[in-house]
Structure formats: structure tokens, C-alpha cells
């Protein structure tokens, strides 16, 4: 097992953006809402004829900011669900990015058009002229906001350290670990909860209080089981399997199953072949993770 920095991958195919992943979508939508609302309140970029307004200008700005934020949230939640169900690769091209953003701006323009009767007292609200105007305005403003937020993101990421992607090339390492059996019997505090486990199928383990979630892969079938045992207790019982590493206070990972590592000095994210789920490596564990990986490489790779 070895890794390298794949520059061609970074240029032509980028990692599926964390800002669109389910755990970060609410934050991304909140940022979009706040930026648009502040911008509309401060600059009034598009002409408003006050006698036509059905409500205070603040509430109009609120609706125009809320609409694209909700569309972003719902759209990418649906996209993430589809990608997960299809076990789609995490690769993400810039063309795909721009097409998705363009479609969201189109939906935002249509949403603004359908809100006109709520906002404006104008007999021509349902005209083709206003449909074109709302879509055009959304594209003009949306493209500006998109690149503004992307540039801001690049700036803050540069403060954290340059992001990178490391590819793990998996070899037939499992055959070299025959000194221990792949089947493990795990003892819990309650005997009736004891269970057996095929270590070779285990991708990672997540702590959940006094329970753990075991995520396993059998071919393309991903399963998750909950067992009544703490992560620390479980970790002690797999000490004979050196390829498991506690990368985070809440995660234990099978290093042989890692496909790719991305991140920077603030932390890593581990990706697997079989699933779109990711496992974090905490900032405190980065150095230990790198050292542990090197030890495994020296031990199992000639």
C-alpha cells in the first residue's frame, strides 16, 4: 500500500466538495442566505418601485435570500442521496460543478418569478417579460455570489494550509497478515451481546456513547451494525490487528481499506472504494496517522 499526490487528478477531477456534503449543507445554505440578505439590504442592486410593494423591503430581501438557500439545501441533499445509492465515485469535475450551479440559479429565478404576486401589486406579474427578468437577475447576481464565495473559501483555506489529495493504491496486503485469523469474537459487558466479526469486511468503527457502529463491506453491499460496547473496549480487543488505527476520538479505521486521503493541516478526510461515507482524522492525530501509515508501508510493502 502506498500513496502519492495525483496532480492530474487535482486538475481535471476534484474531490466532491465538502460544502455540498450533507453534514455541511446547512452551513453552506446559511452562508448563502446571510450574504444575499446583507447584499440586498445594503445595495438594492435591482430597481424597486415602492408603490407596487405589498410588504416592507426587508421582508422582500428576506424572501429573495431564503429562496436560493432552500433550493441549494434541498437540491444537493437530493443529489447526495442519489450519489450514495448509486455508489458513485467521489470525483467531481468543474464542468459538473458549473452545470449544477447553473441549474440551481435557474430554479432560483423561477422561484423569484412565482413569488411576484406575493411581493408586488402588479397586473403584469405573470408576463414573459418578468419571467425573463427574474431568471436574468438570478444568473447575474448568482454568478457574482458564487465566485465571491469561492474566492472567500480559497482565502480561508489558504490560511489553514494547502489542501491536497493522497491516493492509496491498495495491494493484496490481507494475504500477508495470516498470523491472525480474520474472524474475531468480541466480548462485551453483557454476555448475551457478545458477537463475532469478520475483520476483513470492516471499514471503520464509530463511537456512539457506550455503543459502536460497525460499517462493513461485503462486495458492494455496505452494512452498519450497532453493538453495545465502547470504542475503547473494542479497540483493546483488536490489538492483534495492527492495521486498525484510532484516527479520531470517535473513529477507528481499517487502514487497508482506505482509498484516498484529502485535507490539510486542520485535518484529513478518509475515503473508501465501497461507499461515499468519510472518516475524519483529527488535527491532533495527523502526525500519528502519517507515522502509522509509514510503519505499515515498511512492514507490508517490499
Q: CB of 212 within 8 A of CB of 205? A: yes
In whole angstroms, give the CA distance from residue 85 to residue 78.
11
Q: Higher confidence at residue 235 or residue 44? A: 235
pTM value > 0.75: no
Q: CB of 249 within 8 A of CB of 207? A: yes
Q: What digits encode the pLDDT tens for the residues 78-131?
A: 988 887 776 555 567 888 889 999 999 999 999 999 999 999 898 888 999 999
CA dist 243 → 37, 172, 252, 256, 297 (Å): 49, 14, 10, 7, 10
In terms of Cα–Cα distance, which of 148, 274, 290, 128 is closest to 204? Answer: 274
Question: What average pLDDT does the structure give for the chain?
Answer: 82
Q: What digits encode the pLDDT tens for the residues 10-32?
A: 334 456 777 888 888 999 999 99
**Average of per-residue pLDDT across 272-281:** 85
Q: CB of 246 within 8 A of CB of 230? A: no
Bridge partners, residue 196, by sequence: 185
Amino acid at each position: 500500500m502506498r500513496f502519492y499526490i495525483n496532480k492530474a487528478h487535482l486538475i481535471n477531477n476534484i474531490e466532491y466538495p465538502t460544502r455540498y456534503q450533507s453534514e455541511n449543507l446547512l452551513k453552506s445554505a446559511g452562508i448563502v442566505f446571510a450574504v444575499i440578505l446583507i447584499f440586498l439590504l445594503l445595495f438594492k442592486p435591482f430597481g424597486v418601485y415602492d408603490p407596487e410593494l405589498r410588504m416592507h423591503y426587508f421582508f422582500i430581501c428576506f424572501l429573495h435570500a431564503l429562496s436560493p438557500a432552500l433550493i441549494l439545501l434541498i437540491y444537493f441533499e437530493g443529489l447526495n442521496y442519489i450519489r450514495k445509492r448509486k455508489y458513485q465515485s467521489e470525483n467531481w469535475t468543474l464542468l459538473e460543478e458549473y452545470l449544477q450551479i447553473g441549474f440551481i440559479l435557474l430554479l432560483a429565478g423561477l422561484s423569484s418569478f412565482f413569488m411576484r404576486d406575493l411581493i408586488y401589486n402588479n397586473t403584469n406579474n405573470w408576463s414573459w417579460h418578468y419571467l425573463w427578468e427574474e431568471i436574468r437577475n438570478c444568473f447575474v447576481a448568482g454568478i457574482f455570489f458564487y465566485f465571491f464565495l469561492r474566492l472567500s473559501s480559497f482565502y480561508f483555506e489558504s490560511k489553514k494550509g494547502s489542501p491536497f489529495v493522497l491516493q492509496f493504491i491498495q495491494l493484496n496486503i490481507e494475504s500477508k497478515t495470516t498470523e491472525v485469523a480474520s474472524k474475531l469474537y468480541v466480548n462485551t459487558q453483557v454476555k448475551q451481546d457478545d458477537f463475532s466479526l469478520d475483520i476483513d469486511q470492516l471499514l471503520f468503527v464509530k463511537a456512539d456513547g457506550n455503543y459502536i457502529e460497525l460499517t462493513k463491506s461485503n462486495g458492494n453491499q455496505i452494512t452498519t451494525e450497532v453493538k453495545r460496547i465502547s470504542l475503547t473496549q473494542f479497540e483493546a480487543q483488536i490489538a492483534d490487528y495492527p492495521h486498525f488505527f484510532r484516527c479520531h476520538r470517535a473513529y477507528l479505521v481499517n487502514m487497508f481499506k482506505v482509498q484516498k486521503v484529502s485535507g490539510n493541516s486542520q485535518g484529513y478526510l478518509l475515503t473508501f472504494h465501497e461507499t461515499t461515507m468519510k472518516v475524519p482524522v483529527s488535527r491532533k492525530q495527523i502526525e500519528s496517522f502519517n507515522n502509522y501509515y509509514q510503519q505499515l508501508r515498511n512492514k507490508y510493502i517490499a
